[in-house]
């Protein structure tokens, strides 16, 4: 099995928006729509009794989670939304009728109707790149070296990021860029049985 996923080190994300810009350019995303959105979580008190400046915050990139049991696929009446062999969820524009059932079913609000084309769109994991062994644009463009792409079924060793000084993709196992973390520091978006595939690393802060 294969389960392509993106791991984001939230301790390194600075909300530079490079991933958003690169995504729109690579996938010709219409003005006013986004395949990636960056949420600011906080500032929140570090403890129940904390007051400013004893607060914490982080940035949370949100895109399609390419779920293992995607609700969007279950409700699609034409089979346009489907899960592929590499674990990504794709939309066949030739089959999509723009009913937006999938938009309503998605628990993360990451789908939208392209009104000009009359079809629903979302993150594709840059299938035009990843099918050729390349990395998604949001990963290669990450200035904070926070985003990593790989096959979750092969473990962390398979994940790669933006280019290093030698012109080769950095490895997730490179401790110069990925600081030590515990499995308790690894999170996913709320799971209602859909099984989101992306993971987020957050150390020394409260996941909210």
Say what percent of the chain tops pLDDT 90. Answer: 86
CA 43 to chain centre: 22
Residues in the chain: 208
Residue-level pLDDT at 47: 84
Helices (H) and strands (E) in the chain, counts: 5, 12
Q: pLDDT tens-digit profile of 76-100?
A: 999 999 999 999 999 999 999 999 9
Q: The tokens 């007051």 sit on which residue?
A: 51
Quick one: CA torsion of 70, 73, 74, 78, rounded to 10 degrees?
Answer: 180
Beta strands in 17-97 (DSSP E): 37-45, 55-62, 81-83, 89-91
Query: Do the Cβ atoms of 140 and 80 come closer than 8 Å?
Result: no
Angle at 91 between CA 110 and CA 122, to 5 degrees: 25
Phi, psi of 89 (to 5 degrees): -105, 125
In the chain, domain spans: 4-201
DSSP state of 202: -
Residue 68's nearest CA partner among 189, 200, 158 is: 189
Q: pLDDT tens-digit profile of 20-35?
A: 999 999 999 999 999 9
Query: Do the Cβ atoms of 88 and 4 come closer than 8 Å?
Result: yes
Phi, psi of 153 (to 5 degrees): -70, -15
Q: pLDDT tens-digit profile of 35-76?
A: 999 999 999 998 888 888 889 999 999 999 999 999 999 999
Cα 33 to Cα 24, 47, 70, 168: the distances in Å are 9, 36, 22, 32
User: Which pLDDT band, with edges at 50, 70 and 90, does 109 fall under?
Assistant: very high
Q: Is the pLDDT of residue 1 over 80?
A: no
Query: Do the Cβ atoms of 72 and 102 come closer than 8 Å?
Result: yes
- Report the topology of domain 4-201: Alpha-Beta Plaits (3.30.70)
């Amino acid at each position: 099995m294969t389960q392509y996923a993106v791991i984001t080190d939230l301790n390194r994300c600075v909300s530079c928006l490079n991933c958003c810009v690169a995504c729109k350019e690579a996938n010709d995303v219409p003005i006013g729509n986004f395949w990636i959105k960056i949420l600011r979580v906080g500032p929140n008190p570090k403890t129940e009794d904390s007051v400013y400046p004893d607060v914490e915050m982080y940035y949370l990139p949100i895109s399609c989670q390419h779920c293992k049991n995607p609700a969007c696929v279950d409700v699609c009446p034409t089979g346009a939304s489907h899960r592929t062999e590499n674990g990504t969820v794709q939309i066949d524009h030739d089959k999509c009728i723009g009913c937006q059932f999938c938009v309503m079913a998605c628990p993360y609000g990451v789908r939208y109707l392209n009104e000009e084309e009359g079809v629903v769109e979302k993150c594709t994991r840059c299938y035009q790149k990843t099918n050729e062994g390349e990395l998604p644009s949001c990963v290669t463009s990450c200035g904070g070296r926070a985003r990593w792409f790989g096959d979750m079924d092969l473990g962390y060793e398979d994940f790669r990021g933006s280019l290093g000084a030698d012109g080769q993709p950095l490895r997730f196992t490179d401790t110069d860029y990925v600081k030590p973390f515990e499995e308790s520091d690894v999170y996913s978006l709320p799971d209602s049985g859909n099984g989101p595939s992306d993971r987020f690393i957050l150390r020394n802060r409260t996941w909210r």
